[in-house]
Structure 1
Amino acid sequence: MSFLPYIQNTPVWVWVLFIYLLHRGINALFDREMRPGRLFFLPIFFLLWGIYGITREAFHPDISLFTMIIGVLAGIAVGYLLWRSQPPLRHSDTPGFIIRAGTPLTLGLIIIAFGLKYILTATVYLHPELREAPSFSLLFGLLTGLVDGIFWGGTLRVFVPWYKKERQRKQGTI
């Protein structure tokens, strides 16, 4: 069975999303100025996309959601470790903005996350009988959660120390 017909029948919006995410990942290779809340865009995006996928692709969403939570928790630990060597956030000269150091980790994770999501969804459409298998629902939720958790772990790894220091600065203790 060829995978080519599935690629050809993939909706255009999926390729537009992929290009957009690649653009975000390429921008993440370089230091960039942003508002602190923007750090959470990718973790929230992949969390919502994961929940959406579970509700649409998994026949046993309860199993998928449970294993997604486990995956997110495990992924947070992995992401935290992956980003441990990243430089801390810096203050920008622009009030209310920070500077996040560039890293190839974000681009790599975007490609892995998109590819994994694409493969899981394609698998369901190529083998519809898997949709009803509890083991597939378990795997779908676990992998979706793991990837999103890595985004959360990396984001928290750079955000939490900055936030603590910022809070101390505002309280005048540093």
Structure 2
Amino acid sequence: MLNTLQNTPLWVYAIFLLLCYYGVKALSPTRESKTSLLVTAPILLGWSLYSLNLTLNPQLSVSCWLAAVILGSLAALLIFPRKGVELDDPQTGLIVPGTAKTLMLYLLFFAVNYYFGYQDDVHPEMAATLEMLLLKASASGFVCGLISGRALKFYRLLLTLQAKRPQIATG
């Protein structure tokens, strides 16, 4: 175990600390901008899809990944409540109440990627089996689905709250 930690590249620790920073920051109310809600999900989905190993059975891998993204998105709709979410002062973003769920989500994202990176480095023969490739596709897809589902839910909520705000009379 210690050998694994010692051989982990420094940039991995930097990403871990960054995710921890944003996760701990999410324990208190945070502002979610429209841009962050629109940009985060496609970037993570693209990265996740790009990281799939499509050598053995590409159709099955992508199918497992896509099913997991959908399941993760549906789970996010249940896990992240609308309660307490409100428009910020310029009414261009949301103020989201603090929660530990975001920290857990970030740590889950890191753990999944770290585990499969470890398997690729230490047990490349096992990591290349169809079962492991499908597990990676499913786990990665589910976590990305959670993050994307959260972003989509809050984006739709932002649009709904913006549509309900009082219109300022002009003229």
TM-score bracket, normalised by the shorter chain, equals 0.7 to 0.9
Q: Is the counterpart of residue 106 in structure 1 residue 114 in structure 2?
A: no
- 2:10 paired residue among 6, 12, 16: 12
1:82 matched residue in structure 2: 79
Deviation of residue 88 (structure 1)? Answer: 4.9
The residue matched to 1:98 in structure 2 has which SS?
A: strand
Residues 67, 141 of structure 1: 8 Å contact kept: yes
Residues 68, 142 of structure 1: 8 Å contact kept: yes
Quick one: structure 1 residues 34 and 75, their matched pair in 2 at CA, closer, same or farther if it must change by over 3 Å?
A: closer
1:115 matched residue in structure 2: 111
Residues 72, 149 of structure 1: 8 Å contact kept: yes
The residue matched to 1:14 in structure 2 has which SS?
A: helix
Residues 116, 136 of structure 2: 8 Å contact kept: yes
1:147 is aligned with what amino acid? Answer: V
2:27 matched residue in structure 1: 29
Distance 1:5 1:37 in 2: 40
| TM-score, normalised by the number of residues in structure 2 | 0.83
Structure 2, unpaired ranges of 5+:
none
Q: State the 4+ residue runs in structure 1 displaced beyond 4 angstroms.
A: 168-172
Residues 68, 146 of structure 1: 8 Å contact kept: yes
Equivalenced residue count is 167
Greater shift, 94-103 or 107-116, is seen at 94-103
Residues 89, 162 of structure 1: 8 Å contact kept: no
| TM-score, normalised by the number of residues in structure 1 | 0.82
Write the mapping of 1:21-170 to structure 2, written as runs, cut at 5 A: 21-55=19-53, 59-60=55-56, 62=58, 63-84=60-81, 86-94=82-90, 96-167=92-163, 169=165
Distance 1:80 1:154 in 2: 7
Residues 87, 162 of structure 2: 8 Å contact kept: no
Deviations 1:27-86 (A, max 9, x none): 11111234222134543443233224225xx643723332111110010111111113x4
Deviation of residue 87 (structure 1)? Answer: 2.2
Distance 1:120 1:83 in 2: 27
Distance 2:38 2:16 in 1: 19
Deviation of residue 120 (structure 1)? Answer: 1.5
2:80 is aligned with what amino acid? Answer: W
Quick one: structure 1 residues 133 and 50, their matched pair in 2 at CA, closer, same or farther if it must change by over 3 Å?
A: same
Deviations 1:81-104 (A, max 9, x none): 1113x4253122235333222211
* Cα root mean square deviation, aligned: 2.5
